[in-house]
Every structure is written in structure tokens, then in C-alpha cells.
Amino acid sequence: MPEITAPPKSAASASPWTRQNPFPGKLVVNRRLSSADSQKDTRHFEIDLTGWGLNFEPGDSVAVYPTNDPNLVKEIIRALGTTGDELVPAAKTTKPFREALLRDYSITQPTPKFLKAIAERASAAPMLTKLLRPDRKHDLENYLWGAEVIDFLLEHPSVKLRPEEFVGLLTKLQPRLYSVASSLRVFPDQVHLIVDVVRYESRGRARQGVASSFLADRADKVPVPVYPSSAKHFHMPEDQTLPLIMIGPGTGIAPFRAFLQERQALGAKGKNWLFFGSQREKCDYAYKEDWERFTRDGLLTRFDCAWSRDQAHKIYVQHKMLENATEIWKWIDDDGAQFFVCGDARRMAKDVDAALRKIVQEQGGKSVDEANAYVEKLKTDKRYKRDVY
């Protein structure tokens, strides 16, 4: 563990770095957390921020500005029958087509404008024309699942788009936000991230996530542009004696590693209870050594894990919450604990919310309406905080 220091003061006003001109970080650690037999490729990244003059707090995110896969760029240029040297508009200037595709434009997700252009010019695309009707939105989403821009260019070679015309059908390449997994009090010149590298196959082609594959495969050779993004709604309480209950399955564990580092650095006296979940204990136990050390040090009061695939029936973090309902209710109602949730919004966060409401209802002896009102008051009082995506 590095020597604990005070975090650098924010110098954003004096810093030359902005969202439009992010700091060129340096990737210094790219370590796989999941073992080779895991179904996931979960990585721990450490980015050197020496001299950036900016700041973040546990609970915040950093925006990572990726570049696109050079091989995909080459394939698009080849499919369009261009050289790649043609000048096109990009970032308020002009650049060679190849450079613009690499750095400025999103080249995977087909936009409505791009699909319309293909449908209008491709005589063999009558189905696409029908799917673009407003009343076929759901059908279009199903049809597009796993499809990328390159698929349409290869399927309709007769459609020839000039480079300037082609980039006009694309959207800007956006940065990706990742929750910080470290405290500046402990790592004053770094930010740590935990990322699931997205790789899958669809329509007979290997696909990959833009930012996750950039970090995993290409970032060691180039600068990693980063800029902090504040999440004031997800910060820890100033009162260091308050207990924290933290629910962070998968990569949702990131902010809670930062929380615990920060609380240890500050000598906080509040209790800490962490719930973590993933598929298998043997191959998906992210940051096991950290949690064991925090437990030995007395910082992590309670730690519960849910391994969904280690038994015949699925066990998730919400099931572990319900198993510990009595104690959770005591922490919240008697001890004034703050309740944090980070991770998947589509299912996990909804299931955790339902479990919390059930605990409040059953342990607090409340009606459904009373339990709902209690939970809503937790939100209003900033004691129930979520960072879900």
C-alpha cells in the first residue's frame, strides 16, 4: 500500500485540460482479475495522472476517450473503395479520412441517417426500408441487434458513399465513463478502473467494445485521454461515523473499493458492510486480497458474496440482502446507515430496490405504502444513493 497523503487540491481552473482537451494519461497496469476459465474478461487498469492538476472524489467517474479499432477502420475504407487520405470534416477542422475514423467518429453503431442512406440506395434492401417506418421501431431494434456499420457496407457493395458523405451519417465518438476504483489520498497520481472487456460474436463476426478493447489491447502504446466527471449524488457522507451499506456486484464494486480506501486513509470510525456478486468464486472474485485485508484491518465490518453459478439455483446480491434482513434493518433504522447501489440498472438495481422495500416492510412492520414512503424518504434525505447504468 503506498504512503497515504492528502489528495491534491482541485486546480481545474488553472489546468489546461478540459473535456474537449482531456489529459493524456499513461496506462501503467493492465491486469486480468478473472481467471482464464471465467466467462468474463474482467481487468484492473491503473492510469498514471502525474501532473494533471485535476481532482476527483470516491463515487466520481473518469471519462476515457478511446480510439477505434485500426483494423475496423481499414475494413471500412476498403469497403468504401477509398484511399483513406481524403480530407473530411472532423472536430471543427479537416483531417484525413483514416484519422477521422480512428479518432472522431463512432463507426460501429448504425445511425438512423446511415440506415436511411443504405435503404435509399440499395435496391436489395426493401426490408430495411419497411423496418425504418415509425411503427416498426421494435422490429428494427431486433433486426439491428449485433449489427454494425461494416455489415451494411459489406452486404450492399453497390452502395458507394464518398468519405465526406459517409462521416456525415455518423455520430461523434463519445468518451466512456468509468467509476473510479481508487482514492487520491492513497494513490495521489493514479486512477484505478475495473472494466469488463466486451467481446462477442454476431452475424459470423467477432465484435468488441470500443473503450474496453482500447484499454485492454491498444492503450499501452498510446496516451489514454481522461477527464474527471463529478457525481455529487453518489459521494460518501461527511460524517465519518455513519455506517455504509454498499451493494456492488460485478464491476459495480469499483466505487466501494475507493470508499474503503478513503475511509481507511481518514481513519473513519463508521461501520462498513459490502455486498459483492459475480458468477463463480473460483474465477470471478475481483479484488479478493483487498477485501481480506480490509476485513483483517477491521475496516470492513461485514462482507457478503453472492456467486450466481456456484450452485444449481442462482444466488444474487438481493438474495443475500434478504438473508440478512434483520441486521440490515437495524443498520438503517437504528444506526442511520447510508445505502449505496452501483451497477446494472436494467435488472440488478430494480431487484435490490425491491429487496430493500421488502426488508423495510417486513422488519419495520409497515404496510406496502408505508414501506415505500420510508424508502422514498431515504432518497430525499440522501441516505439511499444509486449510480446505475
Which superfamily does 70-167 belong to? Answer: NADPH-cytochrome p450 Reductase; Chain A, domain 3 (1.20.990.10)
Q: Looking at domain 23-64+177-229, what is its CATH homologous superfamily?
A: Translation factors (2.40.30.10)
Least confident of 137-141, 236-240, 367-371: 137-141
Rounded to two decimals, the pTM is: 0.93
The domain limits of the chain are: 23-64+177-229, 70-167, 232-388
- Give the CB-side neighbour count of residue 370, counting CA atoms within 13 A: 9
DSSP sequence for 118-172 = HHHH-TT-HHHHHHTSGGGHHHHHHHHTT--HHHHHHH-TT----HHHHHTTSPB
Phi, psi of 78 (to 5 degrees): -65, -45
Grid coordinates representing 22 are 482531456
The one-letter amino acid code at 194 reads I
In Å, how far are 128, 234, 336 from 385, measured between CA atoms? Answer: 42, 6, 14
Distance CA 8, CA 186 (A): 11
Fold agreement between 23-64+177-229 and 70-167: no
232-388, what's its fold?
Answer: Rossmann fold (3.40.50)
Residue 381 Cα distances to 58, 268, 331, 376, 384, angstroms: 20, 21, 16, 9, 8
Of the candidates 134, 80, 97, the residue with the CA atom closest to the CA atom of residue 112: 134
pLDDT in tens, 96-150: 999 999 999 999 999 999 999 999 887 756 788 889 999 999 999 998 998 999 9
List the one residue out of 205, 209, 276, 258 whose CA is nearest residue 66. 209
Grid coordinates representing 55 are 481532482
pLDDT tens, 283-332?
999 999 999 999 999 999 999 999 999 999 999 999 999 999 999 999 99
